[in-house]
Structure 1
Amino acid sequence: MDDKYYSRIIKVLIFIVDFYIIQVVFTLAKGLHFAEGISDFRYTALFLVFALIWIVAGFINEIYRINKFSVLKSVGKQLISTLFVHITLLLAILYSVQSFQIGVRFFVFTYVSTTVLIVAARITLKLIGKYFEFSGFDQRNVIIIGATRSGKELYNFFISQDYPRYCFKGFFDDSPDTSLVNAKLVKGSINKVPEYCLAENIEEIYYALPLYNQRLIKNLAKFSDDHYIYLRIVPDFGTVVTENHHVFIYNSTPVLTTRNEPLGISINAGLKRVFDIVFSLFIISTVLLVATPVIALLIRLDSKGPIVFKQLRRGKKNKLFECYKFRTMYVNNTPDQQATRNDPRVTRVGKYLRKYNLDELPQFINVLLGNMSVVGPRPHISKQDEYSRLIKKYKVRHFVTPGITGYAQVNGYRGETKEISQMEKRVEYDVMYMENWSFALDLKIICLTVLNIFRGEKAAY
């Protein structure tokens, strides 16, 4: 928990530093008269847009996780990718607002200055981290009671930290399992703990044995309190618990889930639903409202049949719902058959609608109705239920609301699935999305989807 807390502080710190650097660069640009002819209001708006796009691009490329990267990688691939995404998005916005004219000198100065200062800030922050690492600041001497599976996992955690806050001194166990831990790491039996703690200035004791020995735990708690040592209890659940399990506390009772379920938490599910409603209303009132008459006319002129195609799909908890799409095929008797490359059923207009994902626009109505989400596993047709017998976690993807776009799709797994391995990878990414959901991940997937739309997807046919 402490390390997650510190990780968040680092992310917030980097975010604040980046925002301040952009503000300084914009102030300098104005002072050097690189922004002549731009009103104060428009200049402020440009600054806010510039900073907001940087934040979005930064989340996409994970530049706020500097503690996980080396200095070179921190200022290399991630920042270059962020700059590329940033320039692309900013130019796209400025192009759509053609009355907003910006000089080349301003662009060159802004991007060069921002890059140099942010690189310098990253290196400085990394060096500060290294200083604290080697100086031993906030480093605690710790021991683990119990050479068990939990004890070993805890040991691995201690020695894997980028900025080691824990100096591991050894295991203590009356019957150590040397198949799990190196015998050299075991310092002695449990009765040696008090003497060792006082001699080595131990600051934290981690108890990683089964909890049935209440007398031992009480004695350790009293010794720890008397000598100002923190006692931490690490229950040994053996092979029952993995890193994917999540612990909730109901009153004082710990409850374990079988996997990490961020969207099983009400506040997360509520946040996602609010975003879905707001975002879908925006798309429906702007893009869909403008595009529908044009697309409808093209579909009608190209072939006979309905404008909107309705198909039963599997949604949350495997319930059927009507999924809406602009019709991209000639009316046929095999609507549940996957589209293939050069599929003769696809119309001329449908080919372009599918390539640029425009056929999916009516699904924002599904989002508004609650049948779908903006981001989530793609809803499959009933015919594909057969995969549930062939792919282990296929049904798991139905724990969440299906989406217009998903983690699998932006990673290249969309369209036709000729081999079961392709569906396995799609399911793997869907489950990965469910277990690692965050609002930032949703924004990243949306941005990548938009970029793919402009590029045109090869697997969209």
Structure 2
Amino acid sequence: MASIIESVVDPFIAVGLLFASAYFYEVVPDSHYVILALLTFSLTFPGDSHLRDGRRVMVRRTALNWLLIAGALVLFGYVTGYIHYFAVPVLAVWLAGTPLALIAAHAVSRVALPRLMSRAGTQRRAVIVGSNDIAMQLARGIEENPFLGVHLLGFFDDRTPARTSGTTTGVRLGHLRELAAYAKEHAVGHIYIALPMVSQPRILRILDDLKDTTASIFFVPDMFVTDLIQGRVDHFAGTPVVAVCETPFTGVNRLVKRLSDIVLATAILILIAPLMVLIAIGVKLGSPGPVIFKQNRYGLDGRKILVYKFRTMTVCEDGPEIVQAVREDTRVTRFGVWLRRTSMDELPQFINVLQGRMSIVGPRPHAVAHNETYRQVIKGYMIRHKVKPGITGWAQVNGCRGETDTVGKMARRIEYDLDYLRHWSLSLDLKIILMTIRLVIRDAHAY
């Protein structure tokens, strides 16, 4: 959120003040003002509020940046004669007032952004594993940068407080064996492992324990590991970190994924609206009960969401124990058999996509009861919840659909889900969608 606000504050203030100055001097903005506004927007976007710099550095850099932009615009105006189309008082107020407005906005951002992120619930809870100099460096960086949206809860270490005195100033939360339970109980979003290379056996045990959580895990500093989920080297609070288990949908990727979901879901819903009406009539005439079946599933970060489907059974199970549908299941209605075979029962989930609960492509959501069962027996099961669940997924188009009557079948699904997280791209999403269309026509695993 801080990055988005930073990128748009400068251009909107610069363009807004141009039109405000014209309005103050009762000048009606014409096409020349519009062209100047577009040039200004392109030169100031994306903006930089210098949130991580000191106040004096922020003032100096903001003023200098605007001086360079204003100088370029004025020089261009004089060379082309374009400057004569503008009222001199308007330009004078705009050129002199914009840097002051930018500095004021950046100063307000320093105070308002942390509060907004806190109220919006966007701050991630974080813990650091290890009590050493690099851990202390990271802790200081987090505390000095409230705009990161991270709240540091404390440290985990097996050493006694006496052995770690002077290296960390944060709260010691417990031993390493207590980390996984604490992460689940307190909804920890980020875990930073600052253990040395010689601690590899301990690190592997920690990673093994954390596979039953949805926390994003980072190494500080570099560390050799295998089976990375969107592994990458990054910098956080001025400290190099290695992402071990992180969602692929961060930064621009998150925006691309969400925009593609909104555009495709909207277009598809418009096209299939008449079909959904006919299906609703068929469900209602086929057996008594509601048209839409609502069931709790695990969504992003393991939070419960409500997923919609056309009802295909004579029962609506959503309790602690749910019996999976099997081939020739007597609970499935005649009309439901066709819906399930063609995946038409999933069509209401495009509404879930617009709600932001699901994505068109992603790991298929399982019933909460099934999640609680399989997370205990399949390592890495909960990692699939690092992304929003999808209407279709990489596992489904590779034959992993239907009843999972053995742990091996579910484990194979999870392998495909984790492979999707490792190699996600927009082209992969499009490939899965096309493969799904082919499967809708004929799928031997659907019943």
Report TM bin, short chain: 0.3 to 0.5
